[in-house]
Structure 1
Amino acid sequence: MDLKHWLARAVDAVDGWAAEFGSVAPHPSQVIDDSTFGAAFDEFTRRLRDNYPFFHPRYAGQMVRPPHPAAVVGYLAAMLLNPNNHAREGGPATTDMEREVVTQLAGMFGLPDALGHLTTSGTVANLEALWVARQARPGLGIAFSVDSHFTHARMCRLLGVEAYPVRVDDHGRIDLDALEELLRTGRVGTVVLTAGTTGTGTVDPIDDVVRLKERHDVRLHVDAAYGGFFTLLAGSGAVRPEPWAAIRHCDSVVVDPHKHGLQPYGCGAVLFADPAVARYYLHDSPYTYFTPSDLHLGEISLECSRAGAAAAALWLTFRLLPPTPEGLGQVLAVPRRTARRWARLLADSPYLDLYQEPDLDIVTYYPRRPTLAEVDEASRRVLHEGMHDPVDPVYLSTLRVDAEAFGRRHPDLVRDAGHAQVLRSVVMKPEAEAHVDALHSRIEELAAKGDHR
């Protein structure tokens, strides 16, 4: 795609539509001359240089990547109109687009009757899911693994619900024995399962927990904000299919199109298997909701104003790369291959060790050292030297791991500290596939500097 060409076409298309209503002169209060704007724009672009190269394979740190050009064009074109998808009269076209993409997302998870909508983030989407869970199971608590996203505990405090962190197994998945022991107490009404933890990309055994659902009369919510789109690979052998197939038996699921859905921030989504949860949102407004007679997006959302441009961007992207194995699934297959390739390189490395086998596209590893304290020091040094090298930089992130979790995975390591930082790389950009060998070699070079064996 020629981005400059299609951005210009987007502006022309909106201008052409606007001209049908007659010309309108800009109000003098908002008119800025080009020379004044030019000075501000020059400063603006200089400021933007203070950024990491998220687009480049050298950047293998956090879960950040540029949006697809189609999403950029779709967002800009709709943003020029600035529709608000709270109610249909705020943006008829983008409201319809939102309904269509939500239907596609629901189909991706095998939830054909789901009720849902886009949100500004996965955090807000999870808040809505837990809010509904509280309404459906009043007086009962919410359980989640200790490796789940930190916002679940925060949302429980916000909602005034008892939080029950559950220990994890030696791969970072929610421990089934500990969970069932907790469920037997009758104090839990909802279990949160994670399909792609933000630390290691670990997928909880959703299929196994589904078997506990009816036995203990609990709701199941799946936080698939990070990993949800990997369900498209469930039939390819690239991921274990059972957890993804089990999502259709859960009560709600969250996914973030602004991660693997190739969208700009913020674009999350929440889906409820039972559309009857709409009753928990029941409200009215004296000055809006006058166009449709059926349920609209503002009546099933905790948020009010929401950018219609987000729906437009996702709709246009899905027209080109639909959320199917043959569409967006082909894009997701690349980072999964990259992560597996890097794991094999780490298994053969004399200077680096794989912390744990990746479930998705987050790779965790550390410089080979005999003690936790030395691992921590070496990881910090590799991170710092890599990110500040003026000639050959590499951008990574770290993950703090407690001594017990480290010991379960690597019992031979001397645990002389309470925790250690390990290196963490998110290889979500398809461009990383061609660069992973060079990236690995560069990090090996940095790790070898402090290796005095």
Structure 2
Amino acid sequence: MGAGGSPSAGEVLLSERPTTWRPSQTTSLRLGGLSSHIVTGTTFIQTDIGAEPPIEGVLFTALSGGREPFHGVRRPALEPALGEQPRSRKRGPMDLNKWLAAAVASNAEWSKTFGPFDPHPALAVDDSRFAAAFETFTERLKNNYPFFHPRYAGQMRKPPHPAAVVGYLTAMLINPNNHALDGGPATATMEREVVQQLATMFGYGTYLGHLTTSGTIANLEALFVARELHPEKSIAYSTEAHYTHGRMCNVLGVEGFPVPTDALGRMDLDALEEGLRGGQVGTVVLTAGTTGLGAVEPVHEALALREQYGVRIHVDAAYGGFFTLLAGADGPEELPVEPWQAVAKADSVVVDPHKHGLQPYGCGAVLFRDPSVGRFYLHDSPYTYFTSDELHLGEISLESSRAGATAAALWLTFQLLPPTREGLGQVLAAGRRAALQWADLIENSEYLELYQAPQLDIVSYFPVTAGHALSAIDAASNRILHEGMTDSQDPIFLSTIRLDAVRFAGHPEVAADAAGARILRSVLMKPEFETHVEHLHQRLEELARS
């Protein structure tokens, strides 16, 4: 925040606290592969086939090492029992209840193979005590925005896919640590397999890579390697790049070199080249999908500068990376191929599966095109790396402990929705089409004006005001943000981004009576937006003209 609590340039905001939404009528939805019904103040999940309750006994057996038998609690039937006729298999949403129960039961059966033991009484929690704590816990969780719902069109938020939820919980009951093979042999193998899939998606042949807990840590590792390869040299990134690059330059003791952007929010390569002529820049960060406006910087054009000036090229594709699946696609969702094909020639790339990869937080990944950079990670841990002569993931990572459940969740998701155009690409295509559809509606609106055409799935726009000045646009955008999210009957959740006055050069009719203004911003990450855009647009027009 800027001085006096006002947002600074480029800062994305959402209102301070969520508002409880109590709809006045029943609404049927299909979200994240589940069937839901929201009924007058109460939300519940209705699935095709209910799990066999209760599962408390299964939970106790799983967590106590199999000390007690099931005593009437059965594993959900995944196949018909002997003598039964198999039920017809219809295609439909995953039954999350069934598979969560199956996850607990699977862990219990595996645990029993190691023999019984008595859990320590210090761990015992009376069920009634837990019930009271759980009630308080779930009540407090209601203080959240409806990230799962297409009414939420603000920040980069979406629910994890049910397959990721089941995969994470199943592995979490074992609690593997992917730092070393002896900490999680199964999930470490899964991590290698999903990283291979990510490398293939970006066109990397040979590579070194691993998952991280976030895009921030993934970028830190890329900049760490950059520093080791070009000591005493600075790292260049655009003024629209994620703030993590400037922050991590400070952490690494490296000088950061912010480069101005063009009218679309992409790095100005002429300004970059001017900075490169001095020979003090060692690495250039190109962003494939800025988190503010979704701008894709010209990676393909920057490669020529690498050859001329001997710099490294790192691509921060934390937000936009999976959009490479739409490069050259048929249909309105098609993206230009040049910048995405060029990523294969970049020295390193970062992507966040916890954004468009349908994963829970936190799941990032970093890939290096040259595996020999692994030498910068070399260290020894005499009590850790002893069960295998193979390279342990902790030997090629700055992080130590990492949840194996993260790799498990991504692996299971990729088995069903692989990072291909026909798999996960269809999810991104829906959001991309929704963004283009909404942009068309805004361009034909009397009450809203499109700031710029969406390059990926972020739509930026502002209300048409009487004065058509920055101060009026700022005030109206802020009013719409808060009125939309506090409407008890038909709420809509948006975000804003503050832009400097010079960024409105493409809108010469706007009077620059202030240093900048907040405009509205919507990230259409959820595929359900494709059938919800018209309602979003209608609500925005209602709010704008009020």
Question: TM-score normalized by structure 1?
Answer: 0.98
1:45-444 matched pairs, under 5 angstroms: 45-236=138-329, 238-369=334-465, 370-406=468-504, 408-444=505-541
What amino acid sits opposite 1:22 in the alignment?
G
**One-letter code aligned to 1:180:** E
Q: 2:319 corresponds to which letter in structure 1?
A: Y
For residues 361-414 of structure 1, what are the alpha-carbon distances to aligned partners after superposition, in whole Å with 9 as ceiling and x for unaligned?
1100000121000000000000010011111110000000000012x2212210
For the residues of structure 2 that align with 1:159 and 1:122, how far apart are their CA atoms? Answer: 16
Deviation at 1:309, TM superposition (A): 0.1
SS in 2 for 1:191: strand
Give 1:383's aligned amino acid: L
> What SS does the aligned partner of 1:88 have?
coil
Paired with 1:158 and 1:291, the residues of 2 have a C-alpha distance of 34
- Deviation, 1:33, is 1.1
- 2:414 partner SS: helix
What amino acid does structure 2 have at the position aligned with 1:297?
Answer: L
1:4 to 97, 101, 122: 97
Structure 1 unaligned blocks of 5 or more: none
Deviations 1:412-436 (A, max 9, x none): 2100000100000011001111110
Q: Report deviation, 1:25.
A: 2.3
How many Å separate the matches in 2 of 1:353 and 1:239?
23
Distance 1:409 1:79 in 2: 50
SS at match of 1:258: coil
CA distance in 1, matches of 2:116, 2:453: 61
SS at structure 1 position matched to 2:451: strand
Within 2, Cα distance between the matches of 1:315 and 1:88? Answer: 17
Aligned identity (percent) is: 66
The 2-side partners of 1:12 and 1:417 are apart by 62
Aligned mates of 1:271, 1:53 — CA distance in 2: 33
For residues 95-153 of structure 1, what are the alpha-carbon distances to aligned partners after superposition, in whole Å with 9 as ceiling and x for unaligned? 00000000000000000211000000000000000000000111100000000001100
Q: How far is 1:235 from its partner?
A: 2.3
Amino acid of the structure 2 residue aligned with 1:81: I
CA distance in 2, matches of 1:362, 1:31: 49
Question: Over aligned residues, Cα RMSD in angstroms?
Answer: 0.7
Q: CA deviation at 1:169?
A: 0.4
> 1:35 and 2:133 equivalent?
no
Query: 1:240 and 1:416 mapped to 2: Cα distance?
Result: 37
When Rg is computed on C-alpha atoms for both structures, the one with the higher figure is 2
Measured against aligned partners, the alpha-carbon deviations of 1:307-334 in whole angstroms (never above 9, x if no partner) come to 0000000000000011111111111110
Residues 279-326 of structure 1, C-alpha deviations (whole Å, 9 max, x = no match) = 000110121101221322111000000000000000000000111111
User: Aligned letter for 1:388?
Assistant: T
- 2:390 and 2:412 map into 1 onto residues whose CA distance is 25
Native 8 Å contact 1:252 1:270 kept in 2: yes
User: Aligned to 1:15, what secondary structure does the other structure show?
Assistant: helix
AA aligned to 2:545 is A
Report runs of 4+ in structure 1 exceeding 2 Å deviation. Answer: none
Alignment partners' CA distance in 1, 2:480 and 2:174? 47
Q: Give the whole-Å Cα distance in 2 for the aligned partners of 1:420 and 1:345.
A: 23
Whether the aligned pair in 2 keeps the contact of 1:357 and 1:363 (CA below 8 Å) is yes
The structure with more helix, counted as a fraction of residues: 1
Measure the CA separation in 2 of the matches of 1:210 and 1:175: 14
Secondary structure in structure 2 of the residue aligned to 1:409? coil
Letter in 1 for 2:295: T
Question: Over residues 189-212 of structure 1, what are the superposed CA-to-partner deviations in whole Å (9 max), with x where a residue is unaligned?
Answer: 000000110100110011110111
Q: Is the 8 A contact 1:103 1:112 kept in 2?
A: no
- Distance, in Å, in 1 between the alignment partners of 2:425 and 2:529 is 17
Q: Take 1:124 and 1:398, find their aligned partners in 2: how far apart are those partners?
A: 26
> Matched residue of 2:357: which SS?
coil
Secondary structure (helix, strand or coil) at the match of 2:146 reads: coil
Distance 2:189 2:269 in 1: 41
1:165 is matched by which residue type in structure 2?
A: P
In structure 1, what is the Cα distance between the partners aligned to 2:125 and 2:392?
Answer: 39
CA distance in 2, matches of 1:137, 1:143: 13
Q: Deviation of residue 213 (structure 1)? A: 0.8
Q: Which amino acid aligns with 1:375?
A: I
- Give the distance between the partners of 1:145 and 1:93, measured in 2 at CA: 40
